[in-house]
């Protein structure tokens, strides 16, 4: 997400939201250096060693499919084929390394989303989409959802490289559950239209496997996100996790 206002910290009375358009169209804008045209400095990112979802996203980028998408995005952005330096195993590690060198770190996605909307600290943040639920204030320089733009939605999926990450949540009954039938009844309710709507259905960033369950107003359907984002593959993440973890944490120390 990014702050789309022209607020500079002192012009609350004259600043407006929605004036910044098409800010992120290629994922390599968040890597590289300030010498690159369109480069975006200091995107905010929750430390991956403290947030498994972020680490899993980085691990997924090393899959062949996403290496190819990163390569295509690189060629589009720089106008030439990538040269992979010896310190990087492949194009994914190159993007990850350059991104981590460029970014700043936050400890809470909710706080980062609110500070992003208020124009405090950073202009771009990689945060969970559902944290928009915290943006309830109104006005420039405040926690207003109108101050925040999601590039992937703004570009209708046309962010080169990747536009986000979708991960799965599971409802499970352990073998030693004391009341397994009560758990099954609760799961059945959660997967119903009423259950999902009452729990999450009014908030962006939550989607049910029940195709009849509605999504939040202004959100995109799960099918749209699955077409335009990196989808978590737990089996692949498990196979790549160790190497990616070692690489990523070398940038955090």
What pLDDT, on the 0 to 100 scale, is given for residue 89?
96
Instruction: Kindly list the domain boundaries of the chain, sorted by start residue.
Output: 2-164+232-252, 180-224
CB 102 within 8 A of CB 44: no
Mean pLDDT of 176-204: 93
Instruction: List Cα–Cα distances, 228 to 32, 68, 110, 252, in angstroms.
Output: 23, 15, 23, 29
**pLDDT, tens only, 31-86:** 999 999 999 999 999 999 999 999 999 999 999 999 999 999 999 999 999 999 99
Question: Per the structure block, which two tokens stand in for 88?
Answer: 């990087």
CATH number belonging to domain 2-164+232-252: 3.40.190
Q: Distance between CA 181 and CA 185 in Å, rounded?
A: 6
Question: Per the structure block, which two tokens stand in for 249?
Answer: 């944490």
What pLDDT, on the 0 to 100 scale, is given for residue 135?
93
Read off the pTM. 0.93
């Amino acid at each position: 997400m990014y702050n789309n206002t022209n607020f500079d910290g002192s012009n609350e009375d004259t600043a407006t939201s929605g004036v910044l358009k098409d800010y992120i169209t290629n994922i390599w804008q968040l890597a590289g250096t300030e010498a690159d045209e369109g480069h975006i400095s200091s995107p905010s990112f929750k430390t991956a060693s403290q947030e498994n979802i972020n680490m899993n996203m980085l691990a997924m980028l090393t899959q062949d499919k996403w290496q190819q998408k990163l390569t295509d995005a690189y060629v589009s952005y720089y106008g030439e084929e990538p040269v992979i330096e010896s310190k990087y195993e492949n194009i994914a590690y190159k993007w990850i390394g350059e991104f981590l060198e460029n970014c700043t770190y936050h400890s809470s996605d909710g706080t980062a989303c609110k500070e992003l909307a208020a124009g405090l600290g950073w202009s771009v943040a990689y945060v969970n989409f559902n944290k928009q639920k915290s943006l309830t204030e109104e006005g420039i320089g405040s926690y207003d959802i109108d101050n925040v733009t999601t590039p992937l939605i703004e570009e209708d999926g046309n962010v080169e490289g990747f536009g986000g990450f979708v991960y799965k949540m599971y409802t499970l009954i352990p073998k030693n559950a004391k009341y397994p039938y009560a758990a099954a009844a609760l799961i059945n309710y959660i997967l119903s239209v009423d259950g999902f709507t009452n729990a999450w259905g009014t908030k962006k960033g939550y989607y049910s496997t029940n195709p009849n369950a509605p999504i939040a107003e202004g959100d995109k359907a799960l099918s749209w996100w699955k077409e335009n984002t990196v989808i978590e593959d737990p089996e692949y993440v498990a196979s790549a996790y160790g190497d990616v973890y070692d690489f990523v944490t070398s940038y955090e120390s």
